[in-house]
Structure 1
Amino acid sequence: MRKLVKRLAALFLVGTLTFSMVACGKNNDKATNKDGEDTVTLNVWHQWSNDTNELKKLYDEAVVVYQKDHPNVKINTQTLDTEAYKTKISAEFAGKASGIDVFYYWGAGMARKLVNADKLLALDNYLTEEVKAKILPGSTTAFVYDVKTYSVPMFSWYMTMFCNRDLFDQAGATIPTTYDELVAAVDKLNTLDGVIPIAAGAKDGWNAAFIYQALALREVGATSINSMLSGNAKFEGEGYAEAAKKVVDLYQMGAFGKNPLESGNDDANSAFISGKAAIRIMGSWFANQVYTDTTATINPENVVACKIPVIEGKGNATDYAGGFVESFWVNKNTKYEKEAAEFAIYINEKMGKAAYETGTGFCGWNVDLDESKLNPLFIQIKGLLADSVEGVLAWDTSLDANPATIHNEQVQTLFAPNADVTAFINEHQAAINK
């Protein structure tokens, strides 16, 4: 009898513990706020990890407002720097990415692989007429797949050649408008002690790719490149090889310093804003850092925003690199579809507006914008964009994942001794021309 009592007691204890664990599990999924409402936690990921990045600050401010207006939603944010972020996102979505509800990513070719794998939530059911009316026409091209809209825009970017006029004056160089003038300027800038003519940041593949893509834009032209990136034309023609040769020529001149593959994006930005580099080819978002980074030692008023130098007799001066491609997306596997979709739409609009008002990017929303605090450098870029016609997105966001990776890796080979342009072209053709 005693044994039976002990056995029943043990079973009761196990049952009690099991119930407690189940109950705890449910409480971890949803909590209750002070008004007695169920609250959900959205895990949101983005790649603005550097505290000096104005976009990180703008995002944090927008989240504070959202949580205040939506007391039933808690935003749990995680960040990594760009290259590590891309790797982590790919690894997460190889599975269900269960720890991600909303995440920052790039549209066009990059998001296509996630759409094809049925990893993303289409937002059409959450795009009200009010929301649609605010979206700038033509700004969603990179977010639509098979007539379904998977995200909405934040802001567009414009590839800019930033020049430190002080260093140009010291070297007796002219701000270049053509490639020949760029070569002449590099030659003179090389005479300045401790100054790199062009901060490349080539340790990060996308930085190296920016320089190649800028030259390819002028050699090949936006129309032909867009046809290639969309799969309607092959990667072929002398222009692509000529652009690669020009990168090699600049490297051999010492345009990027002795070891450009040892410095990444943050290093290159720092070199420019500390007066150790005369030129930085970067997206328009860099204009804000020039004015706001507390570590900057240069006079921002002496920084000039320029178009990518033209190559005489080739391309079109009105072509540019840039456009709408960055956005927040929703994991189809999220437990909180409605809350995640609503936050994604909200944060894209708020970041688009905030980015423009702080001189970081060009808003994708038809909303009231305060231009009173735009920095002079961003206003210069705005003028350059106004004179531009056809844009080309960054290649690694337009191409599918594998050719995009090969492109970035192959471009890096041009920033080293014994670069092989023929091998560079062959690798691109094998990856793209399928």
Structure 2
Amino acid sequence: MKKNLISRLAAAVLSATMVLGLAACGSKDEPGAETPGSETGGEVTLNVWHQWSNDTNELKKLYDQAVADYIKDNPNVKIETQTLDTEAYKTKISAEFAGDAKGIDVFYYWGAGTARKLVNADKLLPIDEYLTDDVKSRILEGSTTAFEYDGKLYSVPSFSWFMTLFANKKMFEDAGAKLPETYEDLVDAVEKLQKLDGVTPIAAGAKDGWNAAFIYQALALREVGADNINKMLTGEVPFEDAGYTEAANKLVELYDMGAFGKNPLESGNDDANAAFGNERAAMRIMGSWMANGIYTDTTATIDPANVVALNMPMVSGKGNATDYAGGFVESFWVNKNTANKEEAAKFAIYINERMGVAAYETGTGFSGWTTEADESNLNPLFIQIKEILGKSKAGVLAWDTSLDSEPATIHNEMVQTLFAPNADVDAFIEEHKAAINK
């Protein structure tokens, strides 16, 4: 089965938020065909930044291969790449763009509210003029919402993600626990999994704020619902639904039970992935990109056959099982101050398409392009996620990419306070109201 069939499915399912583009050289059916832009003749160096810093990350490998192919087809272009892990990367990018970011031509970033501050500060290059009709025809319908500002398109989609509960079914069997479909199932599983020697029920990675926020957002999704959360994130309604408090209370309940281990704030994203991969944790709430890592991480000891991909557990009597967290928001953007606007835009479009198609083919993410892709090597976990996605309807982006920069930062930092003794849920709610309800 070819990717164009899946694209139509994804368009219906993921119409909430997405984006991507195209580019480069090759035949019309290949990623990057009929790249916009003219020959510059002279040698050009593009400084490209991204946040896939770990050599075990499959996305880093896919990026490196795409760059090698681009340089081969464009011998006048030299690509210099800089990487940092996610939290350090966010800090560094903000610092660079507080000035003119002269050392950056193209960079990986998040759309919607995250990029809005850069657009408002006139730091980003609109790329409309660099998109041919052929390029536009290959962008998945509905995938550019998070990249459009004031009628201009600043980037194109790469791939989308889907928030997934990964579970080690062998550990569940050993503990006599049921794979969780409801919050009550989750609580019961936590209690039973704690009896296994040396096992943390849920690897949180809460030292990184976005990891902590993922867990809260999963609970809030079930308490409040995608429609209401999206209205809150876009400012249509205030942050006041009682479900936000209930979600915080549930997270505190899980912490107090020991669901995240003794000191979840001491371990970050990579630590949590390693804990799950080396069977020191039974569950991990993470984006669908983790599915591929479970099969390709050579440092992990887990048997991939023991891992299952699950939807977020429901809260009895609340929410819709078809609501999900995820969508198209990650992409490569162009610094408006680049000295090589055309070549930078050309490469940004190319790398977004290449990463979108490659991510899909390797079971890392869902492509924002209708470009045909080989599905023969999709791993079983990714297929499970795709099946869940096929039943999903209303999506919510990660809050720190939908909200403006200041409330997004406050959200991540305040969620971390729930992963500590004597958490103050009232203070958590009031800080959110002050930051979001302006």
TM-score normalised by structure 2 residue count: 0.91
- What secondary structure, in the 3-state scheme, does the structure 1 residue paired with 2:376 have? coil
Q: Which runs of 5+ in 1 are unaligned?
A: 1-35
1:136-215 paired onto structure 2 within 5 Å: 136-215=140-219
- What secondary structure, in the 3-state scheme, does the structure 2 residue paired with 1:197 have? strand
1:70-89 paired onto structure 2 within 5 Å: 70-89=74-93
- What secondary structure, in the 3-state scheme, does the structure 2 residue paired with 1:391 have? strand
2:278 to 274, 281, 284: 274
Please tell me the residue identity of whatever aligns with 1:248: V
1:411 to 393, 411, 415: 415
- 1:371 has 2:392 as partner: no
Match of 2:257 in 1: 253
Match of 2:357 in 1: 353
Match of 1:19 in 2: none
Distance in structure 1 (CA, Å) of the matches to 2:69 and 2:301: 33
Please tell me the residue identity of whatever aligns with 1:253: M
User: CA deviation digits over 1:195-233, x for unaligned, max 9?
Assistant: 000000000000000000000000000000000000111
- What secondary structure, in the 3-state scheme, does the structure 2 residue paired with 1:38 have? coil
- What secondary structure, in the 3-state scheme, does the structure 1 residue paired with 2:313 have? coil
Match of 1:312 in 2: 316
TM-score normalised by structure 1 residue count: 0.91
Distance in structure 2 (CA, Å) of the matches to 1:400 and 1:186: 35
- Per the TM alignment, residue 37 of structure 1 is displaced from its structure 2 partner at its CA by 4.3
Distance in structure 1 (CA, Å) of the matches to 2:142 and 2:356: 15
Distance in structure 2 (CA, Å) of the matches to 1:361 and 1:147: 27
Distance in structure 1 (CA, Å) of the matches to 2:41 and 2:253: 64
Match of 1:28 in 2: none
1:224 to 221, 228, 231: 228
Comparing both chains, which one has the higher relative contact order based on Cα–Cα distances under 8 Å and sequence gaps of 6 or more?
A: 2
Moved over 6 A (4+): none
Please tell me the residue identity of whatever aligns with 1:206: W
- Per the TM alignment, residue 302 of structure 1 is displaced from its structure 2 partner at its CA by 1.2
Distance in structure 2 (CA, Å) of the matches to 1:313 and 1:231: 27
RMSD (Å) for aligned C-alpha atoms: 0.7
Distance in structure 2 (CA, Å) of the matches to 1:168 and 1:305: 13
Distance in structure 1 (CA, Å) of the matches to 2:398 and 2:287: 10
- What secondary structure, in the 3-state scheme, does the structure 1 residue paired with 2:423 have? coil
Match of 1:50 in 2: 54
Distance in structure 2 (CA, Å) of the matches to 1:316 and 1:234: 21
Q: Which runs of 5+ in 2 are unaligned?
A: 1-39
Please tell me the residue identity of whatever aligns with 1:204: D
- Per the TM alignment, residue 301 of structure 1 is displaced from its structure 2 partner at its CA by 0.9
User: CA deviation digits over 1:371-402, x for unaligned, max 9?
Assistant: 00000000000000000000000000000000
Distance in structure 1 (CA, Å) of the matches to 2:422 and 2:322: 34
- What secondary structure, in the 3-state scheme, does the structure 2 residue paired with 1:291 have? helix
- 1:123 has 2:127 as partner: yes
- What secondary structure, in the 3-state scheme, does the structure 2 residue paired with 1:284 have? coil
- What secondary structure, in the 3-state scheme, does the structure 2 residue paired with 1:352 have? helix
- Identical columns (%): 75
Structure with larger Rg: 1
Distance in structure 2 (CA, Å) of the matches to 1:257 and 1:68: 49
- What secondary structure, in the 3-state scheme, does the structure 2 residue paired with 1:153 have? coil
Distance in structure 1 (CA, Å) of the matches to 2:329 and 2:215: 19
1:340 to 340, 344, 351: 344
Distance in structure 1 (CA, Å) of the matches to 2:242 and 2:355: 40
- 1:238 has 2:239 as partner: no
- What secondary structure, in the 3-state scheme, does the structure 1 residue paired with 2:247 have? helix
